[in-house]
Amino acid sequence: MEPSQPSQSLSEQFPNHWQASTADSNLTLHGFRRFKTSHLLNLRYLEAEVAEIDHLIYQLGLSLNVDPSSTDRLGLKHCKRDEILPSTDQAVSKELIQRLRQSLKEYEWTRHLVHDKTPYNVLSISF
């Protein structure tokens, strides 16, 4: 799947998500027929949402100009920095953290639902 740009609208992301969700390799889920494409599509939107938050967090971290650790396992020395960035005070908020946590919970739940071929009746679980 080609990553969606953080600034893309949901409708602009749809073609990439649709292609990834309907690719032949994704249609081999056994025992999960009725809504598999919808769940895969939902998974792609969740991935894009988490990637957008992740990008913001990385950019805010890079803007702190803290030297990377000596091992630099994340490759921070080579990360490209965005030219325009909100201030850390504006961007890092309880709402952002709650959105990140909720998105990750939904992502993990949906990923397990799709990849573990869990019966559909578990969808009654609310977040």
Per-residue model confidence as pLDDT tens digits over 66-106: 888 888 888 888 989 999 988 888 899 999 999 999 999 99
CA count, 13 A, side-chain hemisphere, 78: 5
Domain boundary assignment for the chain:
12-68+76-124
Q: In which band, very low, low, confident or very high, does the pLDDT at 37 lie, cut at 50, 70 and 90?
A: confident
Average of per-residue pLDDT across 7-35? 64
Based on its alpha-carbon atoms, the radius of gyration of the chain, rounded to whole angstroms, reads: 17
Residue 11 burial class via C-beta count within 10 angstroms: exposed 0-12, middle 13-18, buried 19 and up? exposed
2 pLDDT more than 70: no
Q: Enter the pTM of the model.
A: 0.66
- Cα–Cα distance, 69 to 61 (Å, whole number): 13
Q: How far is CA 38 from CA 21, 48, 106, 113, 117, in A?
A: 8, 15, 14, 12, 14
Q: By the 8 A CB rule, do 22 and 44 touch?
A: no
Question: What is the predicted pLDDT for the residue at 19?
Answer: 73
- Cα–Cα distance, 46 to 93 (Å, whole number): 20
Question: What is the predicted pLDDT for the residue at 42?
Answer: 86
